[in-house]
Amino acid sequence: MDVRNSLAAGAYAQARPQIGATPAGQPGGEVFAAAVQSVTGTLQAGEAQARAAMTGGADPHSLVLALAQTELAVETAVTIRDRVVEAYQEILRMPV
């Protein structure tokens, strides 16, 4: 067995419980709301770091880190939005 295959299998086994449709006991709407709040919190933290950097109250390292996290959050939100729109368009193309 190849080492890469065993590492991939181990990573999959660890990630498998986390990739379920919804966590046990939580409806899909609550999971979505929590994800939106997480993205919003990341964006607000990035804005706060940018304001602090402009006034001289933050070091450049923390600013770059906050901006990278903000960029990742926005890219993830845009990707999810694109997938939802694509799925909706696919449903519209289905014959009735």
- Please name the residues in contact with 43: beta carbons below 8 A apart, sequence gap of 6 or more: 70, 73, 74
Q: What is the pLDDT of residues 49-96, one digit of tens each?
A: 999 888 888 788 888 998 899 999 999 999 999 999 999 999 999 987
How much is the mean pLDDT over the chain? 81
Question: In the prediction, which pLDDT does 58 show?
Answer: 79
Mean pLDDT of 28-42: 86
Task: Give the pTM.
Answer: 0.61
Indicate the DSSP class of residue 55: T
Contacts of 86 (CB under 8 A, 6+ apart): none
